[in-house]
Chain A
Amino acid sequence: MLIKQLSIFLENKSGRLNEVSQILGNSGINMSAFSVADTSEFGILRLIVSDPELACKVLRDNQFSVNLTDVVCLNCPNEPGALAKALQILSDNKISIEYLYAYSMGDSANVVLKPDRLEECIKVLQEHKMELVKASELYKI
């Protein structure tokens, strides 16, 4: 249930994002989901890719500062109130969310989550019959 997400440090300079996508594209790596967290000085690019270990290597070879972080991906129905239900469960169980990003495709939506307590979060969601996406499936999207 643990998904390996890439975190890349980017200076606030033009072309950095472009360079990352070029490098990954040239190595045959596909991006399934991503989000950028920014301040005025720098940003952190968070990526779910088809081959996290390889992506890490090629980016490091190109002088990027990269790390792998464990996150979890929740799949819920693509309808109003679906996300609220999941977030309520987490809140009731005192699990905080550091950040999240999501996308919908057809009938369902994928929500990539970084909770403060990963194992707890997985346990609680499974207890409440919430669907967690397997890593192998997510990397293929």
Chain B
Amino acid sequence: MQEVGLTANDIHGIDDLTKLPFTIKYDLRDNYPFGLFTVPMSEIVRLHASSGTTGKPTVVGYTRKDIQMWAEVVSRSLCMAGVHRNDIVQIAYGYGLFTGGLGIHYGTENLGASVIPISGGNTHKQVQLMEDFGSSVLCCTPSYALNIAEVMKEMKVDIKNLKLRIGIFGAEPWSESMRKEIETKLGIKAMDIYGLSEVIGPGVSCECEHQCGMHINEDHFLPEIIDPETLQPVAPGEIGELVFTTITKEGIPLIRYRTRDLTRLIYDKCTCGRTLVRMEKCKGRSDDMLIIRGVNVFPSQVETVLLNMSEVEPHYLIQVDREGTLDMMSVMVEVQEQFFSDEIKKLEELRLKIARNLEQVLGIAVNVKLVEPKTIARTAGKATRVIDNRKI
């Protein structure tokens, strides 16, 4: 604040928000792990982490009140999406450091519905529990929902015999056509939920039953849309980068946090009667982050891993494909001549070592392909590091 010459006396009203400086992901990285917390550690009752831009994750902390507020905004989200206390909710988001699983869990319990904390994976079991427990709500990434639909077909399960009614999907971008596909294949209403761990986790915004934009819980998270180049606020209703200021958070409050998500705000009162501002489905990102099977991946993470390995050049190419319903990431790496071995098994070992190192940092399994030297383009300007073949 001193750098920009601001004191508390300069802030008189909501319009003065634009005087304040932005917070970006590097600020959390530079203060890893707990440097941006504003309460002593004894008050922090939960820690969560998500992908960082290099080797270290982005860490957030919650006080008891933060956890209660988080549960409340998620309950609100579930409720506006049509979930009620008599529902049986199957939570197939990952439980752990990722905010998805536990975030939806606490919100569902707070609402009074029955939680099945199954987490992700073991798709056959997911389907079996849907049949046996009569799950009425499914929470997972949209691509996993399509995967579950595929496995149901293999298991010859008829959706008419299931009690599934609603899906709460998020953590990755998905299109209207994907929504139609999920709704048809699972026989449910597919609702979009949005969030990011830096702001709280899932529950920052959610669709109501009319599926016409996600209502932002702006009494807790103040939204702005800025031009990512000029950093100035855009005119109402224009597309730009979404920025959040947390108003009630205690553990790690953030001022004007740049989400890098591109969208627009809709201010009209919604048919549902809510006046909370709505945001459209995200149109893309203003940075190079990828979302693979719901996990955030930064090309710079790949670069960090390769730079730490003397056997390879730090020239790489990432290719993302969607084979059927699941995303697959391949990394092309050039073999450095001094380490090029005459033996196939040594090259195979190297390939697997790179894959293991990448998996440890990225949190997802990747395919590594060794390529000939100088085949990856070197450019004077910004190198093309990613080829995304997915048509979402």
Chain A residues engaging chain B, CB cutoff 8 angstroms: 5, 7, 9-11, 37, 39, 41-42, 44, 46, 60, 63-67, 69, 98, 114
Whether B372 and A41, one on each chain, are in contact in the complex, defined by CB atoms closer than 8 angstroms, is: no
Contact residues in A for B370 (Cβ distance below 8 Å): 9, 11, 41-42
Please provide the chain B residues from 364 to 387 with a CB less than 8 Å away from any CB of chain A in the complex: 369-375
Contact residues in A for B229 (Cβ distance below 8 Å): none
Rounded to whole angstroms, the CA-CA distance of A42 and B343 in the bound complex is: 12
Whether B344 and A37, one on each chain, are in contact in the complex, defined by CB atoms closer than 8 angstroms, is: yes
- Closest residue of chain B to A69 (Cβ to Cβ) is B342
Chain B residues engaging chain A, CB cutoff 8 angstroms: 335, 337, 340-344, 347-348, 351, 369-375
Rounded to whole angstroms, the CA-CA distance of A42 and B369 in the bound complex is: 9
Rounded to whole angstroms, the CA-CA distance of A64 and B372 in the bound complex is: 7
Neighbour of B373 across the interface among A7, A37, A63, A98, CB < 8 A? A63
- Closest residue of chain B to A12 (Cβ to Cβ) is B369
Whether B372 and A7, one on each chain, are in contact in the complex, defined by CB atoms closer than 8 angstroms, is: no
Looking at B337, B342, B351, B373, which has the most chain A CB atoms within 10 Å of its CB?
B342
- A63-B342 CB under 8 A given contacts A39-B348, A44-B347: no
What are 18 A-B contacts defined by CB distance under 8 Å? A9-B335, A9-B340, A10-B372, A11-B371, A11-B372, A39-B348, A41-B351, A41-B369, A41-B370, A42-B347, A44-B342, A44-B347, A46-B342, A63-B374, A65-B335, A65-B340, A67-B337, A114-B342
For residue A2, give the distance in angstroms from its CB to the closest CB of chain B. 14
- A44-B337 CB under 8 A given contacts A11-B371, A11-B372, A63-B373: no
Contact residues in B for A60 (Cβ distance below 8 Å): 337
For residue A71, give the distance in angstroms from its CB to the closest CB of chain B. 9
Contact residues in A for B375 (Cβ distance below 8 Å): 11, 63
For residue A59, give the distance in angstroms from its CB to the closest CB of chain B. 11
Neighbour of A65 across the interface among B337, B351, B369, CB < 8 A? B337
Rounded to whole angstroms, the CA-CA distance of A42 and B368 in the bound complex is: 12
Rounded to whole angstroms, the CA-CA distance of A5 and B344 in the bound complex is: 15
Looking at A9, A10, A11, A64, which has the most chain B CB atoms within 10 Å of its CB?
A9
